[in-house]
Amino acid sequence: MNERNSTLARRATILAAVFLAAAAVTAIYVISRGPGNVETAQCAPAQARQSAIAPFATGDVAAFQVADTPVPIEGLTFRDGDGASRAIEEWRGRTVLLNLWATWCAPCREEMPALEALERAMGGADFAVVAVSVDLGEADKPRQFYVETGLTDLPFFHDGSMGVFNALKKRSLAIGMPTSLLIDAEGCLLGSMSGPADWAGADARALIEAALRSRPDD
């Protein structure tokens, strides 16, 4: 009986040691992999830019929501007008207004000319409008919409799988159409807007100009 008790005690000690070791490894993994901490550190400079643009979320862009915490916007891929694969990271170095739209979305259709006007007026080395159609399947419908609407200065992008929208939806950054995200030159989210806006108007341009004035090299 004493030998049996001794054996059971040794087994209990071994199991306890294994449990503690596993717990320690898990704790180390969680600490080292904490995505929130990594993202917050990566986008810490964007916090000052958020404060700079907040007063300009008014008028036609009053629905623009400054992000609670700046996080990196990355891993989003889509195709350009030539069918080539593009990634949002290619626009690093420029402030970007990423807009998701679809031909079946009436408010999206209405705001597209304003997005083109914004790109025509402010697009360049420091800023770009990246409007991505999320019409399912082939790009025929959004391409035809460009032709019918006379959009010539707004670059064409398409994601027939809705992968971009779904990726942002999982992060609660996309709810419906249209969705617009303002991303700084370092690829960090400054804020977002659900629904259409007059992006060619004075309020929208003041918001974008505030973001540009707060660029990291200024």
Mean pLDDT of 93-118: 98
**Statement: residue 178 has pLDDT above 90:** yes
How much of the chain exceeds pLDDT 90, in percent? 73
Q: With CA atoms as reference, report the closest residue to 73 among 212, 189, 190, 192.
A: 189
Higher-pLDDT residue of 218 and 115 is 115
Domain limits, the chain:
1-33, 45-213
Q: Residues with Cβ < 8 Å from 158, sequence gap 6 or more?
A: 78, 79, 132, 133, 134, 135, 139, 142, 143
Q: Could you tell me which residue, 92 or 33, shows the higher pLDDT? A: 92
At residue 41, the pLDDT reads 74
Where does the pLDDT of residue 182 fall: very low under 50, low under 70, confident under 90, or very high at 90 and above? Answer: very high
Best CATH choice for the domain 45-213 from the list 3.30.465.10, 3.40.50.620, 4.10.520.10, 3.40.30.10 = 3.40.30.10
Q: What's the whole-model pTM score?
A: 0.81
